[in-house]
Amino acid sequence: MIYLIRHGQTDWNLEKKTQGHTDISLNQNGIEQAKQISKIIGNYKIDKIYSSDLSRAKETAEIINENFGLDIILDKRLREINYGDLEGIPRPTLSQDVWDTFNNNPEKLNAEPIVNVFDRIKSFFNELDYNENIIIVTHGGALRTIMYYINNSDNFDKKIYDEKYRDTKINNGAFFECDLLNKSIKEINFKELEM
């Protein structure tokens, strides 16, 4: 089983700033979110923990790993999409024209095309041992791309991605169970687990 986790909250998340590759640490609420995840999955059998190398994901993974004492494997392929010139700018202040440019011609903003994110996610997943129980701590944009990959495998179709995945809301600290062999992914609600 693979467990997918979005990092805890940062101040930039709170301020609705576009983070991308900018290296921002967790805020206090983000630390608490990571502790909540840690408490919920502390008794799971886990073989490996992978994390994006960016601080907000790495710090989340470190808190979760207090239960397991494993070597966290940092992997740049799990990074958030690089938003280029848009990083650090509050999203609500960006015009629809700017977002359209980002979504259709990201290179004009020194940003990363979504197909590049897909290629690095695919490369990462191709190296996993699906018989292991694995935690992956990553970012919202990367998680949307992982969801696309799980449901659509090797071929990237931007039209399908834009229609079904691009605007999927993924909260800080979101936690998903993913069965790659059966191509299923479901979000786990912590309140259900506590019942």
Query: What's the whole-model pTM score?
Result: 0.94
- Let me know: does 138 contact 57? Beta carbons within 8 Å: yes
**What distance, in Å, lies between the first and last C-alpha atoms of the chain?**
22
Tokens, residue 171: 């909260």
C-alpha R_g of the chain: 16
Catalytic residue among 59, 80, 87, 112: 80
pLDDT digits (tens, 9 = 90+) for 86-138: 999 999 999 999 999 999 999 999 999 999 999 999 999 999 998 899 999 99
Active site residue 7: yes
Domain boundaries of the chain, sorted by first residue: 2-178
pLDDT higher for 145 or 184? Answer: 145
| Class in CATH terms, 2-178 | alpha beta
Residue 42 has pLDDT above 80, yes or no: yes
Helix, strand, coil distribution of the chain in percent, nearest 5? 45, 15, 40
Residue 193 above 60 pLDDT?
A: no
Known catalytic membership, residue 80: yes
d(CA 131, CA 138): 21
Please check the confidence at residue 194 and state whether its pLDDT lies above 80.
Answer: no
